[in-house]
Structure formats: structure tokens, C-alpha cells
Amino acid sequence: MADVLVVGSVALDSVATPFGKVREVLGGSATYFSYAASFFTTVRLVATVGDDFPDEHLVLLKERGVDMTGLQMSRGRTFRWVGEYGYDLNEARTLDTQLNVFADFKPVLPSPLKKTPFLFLANIAPELQLDVLRQMERPHLVALDTMNFWIQGKREALLRVLAEVDALLINDGEARQLAQEPNLIKAARSILKFGPRTVVVKRGEYGAVMVSDDHFFFVPAYPLESVFDPTGAGDTFAGGFMGYLASQGVVDQATIRRAIVYGSVMASFTVEDFSLRRLTRLTTAEVERRYAAFQELVRFDI
């Protein structure tokens, strides 16, 4: 079993969906990632929060065994994101992004963290992703996530870091935007030319597709009847994906396929409630039951 290091946002989110709304709840790409991955392996978190960040959120992550030595407490306000969803829950509309303490965050990795074998560059400024990657000592696997905010605003820096990663996890709209290509499969193929050997495209309620030079794989999403808030689904997917791969220590086609299913399993829980609420009630037994349900879901030769 290997450890995973993640750099990304730790946030206070305000979210409205057709089913309710919440203000300044725990969110952030690195938060969802860490919590989900902690079901599979030990996670080390690199991020920053302001002096307004509630202690109880830190306790939540510590209780999951997340190594917080890479979390910097800075003077100022924590990163904030405000978003909303319409009845089509697949697309978040960002109403406000306040980088706050992330605007001048300079991560300095404590030495033991530099040797972590699995690295996840979660959604955050690409310069920060590159800065962390450069401090690492030859990780075994590096994966990256990003979003429209950075594809539009920091394309050059994003392409620089993309050239150095093994896998990209990205949602469908953003894959089209990054590749400037409307067809999703063509978009994924052209992203391979930017550097990553594997591209995993997350398609919300339509599942996920994996494309590499020699392989193609698809999983549906778990058919849920009550989707409450999709925020964090992508990061939770990534946490399940990387957490499982790290727990196996081996990255081959078989483990990648199972990791995509574990990613889908974890994401299917996150969307059942606001913030990390569903994840905090989740048990390993439930994870395994839903994994088995996925196996049943895609078996057609009976």
C-alpha cells in the first residue's frame, strides 16, 4: 500500500441546487479528494486556509487519518466558491470565486512528503500544481484535474503542467474546451498529445470514459433516484480513483479499470447530500456493496 499526496483547494462553499441551499460549508477539491481517498489509503494534504477556517473541519479530516503537515494556516480569508445548479445538475454555474489566501500561497513541502509515490494535482491554479510537482522526488504516478476557470484564465501554465503528468481527470465540457474539439472521443485523443498517457473524462450522470493510446473503457454512473448536490463529485471520483490505485501499488489496465469504478462509487455517495455530509456517514461496507452493485449493473451476458 502506498500513500497519496494531494494539492488543491480547501474551501468554504455556498451552493444552491433546486433542492436546497447551503452557505459557507466545507468544500474544496483537496477536501473531497482527501476524504474519499482516506477510505483506501493514507492521504497527505497540501493546501492553505485562512484564520477564519473552522476548527471542526480540520478535526473531520484528522479523524480520517489525513496527514495535515502540509496544510498552511495563513493570515486572511479562506478560499470561497459560490455556485448554483439548475435542474440539469450536470453543469455548475460559478457565481463567485475568491482565491483569498490561495492568491499568494507558496507551498513548501516538508521533506517526508516529497517522497510520496502517488501525487494528485487537484483543481487549483496550474502554477501551484507545477510548483508542488517540481518539489516531488519522482512520484510513481501523477494525475491532474482542472476546470474551466483555469482553462480560460491560465491556459499556458496548464499546458506546461499537463506535459508532465501521467493521467488527466476532467469533465466532459472542460475536455471539449481544453481540446477545442466538440466530439468527446476526439477531444480526449487530442488531449493525449498534450502529455498524459491516460485521460479519464467524467460525464456526470452519464458515467466516465477512459481513453489511452491502446485502451478504451467506459462505466455508467450509478443510477441514483435522489441526487441532491453534485458539488465535489469530480474530486470525490478522483479520491476513489487515486486512493484505490495507491492501495494496490500497481498501475496497469486492470487496476485502472477497477479504480474508475471505485471513483464512480465514491462520487455516487457525495451527490446524495450537501458538502461532505454523505461521506461522513459512509462505511467501507457500503462502498463494497455499491461496488458489487456496479458489477451487476454492467453484466449483460447472463
Looking at residues 117 to 176 of the shown chain, list those that interact with ligand AMP (rule: CB under 6 A).
Answer: 123-124, 147, 149
List 274's β-bridge partners, or say none. Answer: none
Q: Which of 17, 78, 129, 231 binds ligand AMP (CB under 6 A)?
A: 231
CB of 111 to ligand AMP, least distance (A): 26
Q: Which stretch binds ligand AMP (CB under 6 A): 7-15, 37-45, 68-76, 209-217?
A: 7-15
Which residues have CB under 8 Å from 228's CB, separation 6+? 17, 19, 20, 271, 272, 273, 274
The sign of the dihedral angle between the CA atoms of 61, 67, 69, 70 is negative
Kind of pairing between the strands at 118-121 and 4-7: parallel
| 27: contact with ligand AMP by CB under 6 A | yes
Inter-axis angle of helices 126-135 and 155-162, nearest 10? 30
Sign of CA dihedral 155, 157, 158, 164: positive
Angle at which helix 284-297 crosses helix 253-270, to 10 degrees, equals 110
- Is residue 121 within 8 Å of 132, Cβ to Cβ? yes
Q: Which is nearer to ligand AMP, 83 or 139 (CB)?
A: 83
Pick out residues in 257-276 that bind ligand AMP (CB under 6 A): none
- Minimal distance in Å, beta carbon 235 to ligand AMP? 4
Task: State yes or no: residue 28 binds ligand AMP (CB under 6 A).
Answer: yes
Q: How far is the CB of 137 from ligand AMP (least distance, A)?
A: 26
Q: Quickly count: other Cβ atoms within 10 Å of residue 138's Cβ.
A: 8
Quick one: which of 5, 6, 7, 9 contacts ligand AMP (CB under 6 A)? Answer: 9
Identity of the residue, 11 or 66, whose beta carbon is nearer to ligand AMP in the bound complex: 11
- Contact assessment for residue 76 and residue 7, using Cβ atoms and an 8 Å cutoff: no
Q: Please say which residue, 211 or 238, places its beta carbon nearer to ligand AMP.
A: 238
Site for ligand AMP in 57-86 (CB under 6 A): 81
Under the rule (CB under 6 A), what is the footprint of ligand AMP? Answer: 9, 11, 13, 27-29, 81, 97, 123-124, 147, 149, 231-235
